[in-house]
Amino acid sequence: MLADCASKVHEMQAVCSGFSYLLAANSTYIKDYAKVCEQVCIDCEKECRKHEHHVECKQCAEACAATVDAIKLTLM
């Protein structure tokens, strides 16, 4: 359902926004929060892939995949 996709996107935006603040502040919680952000992005990508015939959903899925890759580099 497209509503599920929109819900995942809103959730992802909230989590990633919080994560960006932690990164900017060089927080001691970055690694812990990165795991949450990674999972939220994985879930969002999975839901958006169901609707990738919509340009916005495809772009969001690709952005989430790229974010997951970047987070994995951060956790190394």
Confidence of residue 76 (pLDDT cuts 50, 70, 90): low
pTM over 0.75: yes
- Tell me the domain boundaries of the chain: 2-74
**CA-CA distance, 71 to 63, in Å (whole number)?**
12
How many other C-beta atoms can be found within 10 angstroms of the C-beta atom of residue 55?
8
CA 8 to each of CA 3, 23, 28, 74, 76: distance values in angstroms, whole numbers, following the listed order:
9, 22, 27, 23, 26
Confidence of residue 1 (pLDDT cuts 50, 70, 90): confident
CA–CA–CA angle 52, 57, 61 (5° rounding): 85
What is the per-residue pLDDT across 6-61, written as a single tens digit (0 to 9) for each? Answer: 999 999 999 999 999 999 999 999 999 999 999 999 999 999 999 999 999 999 99
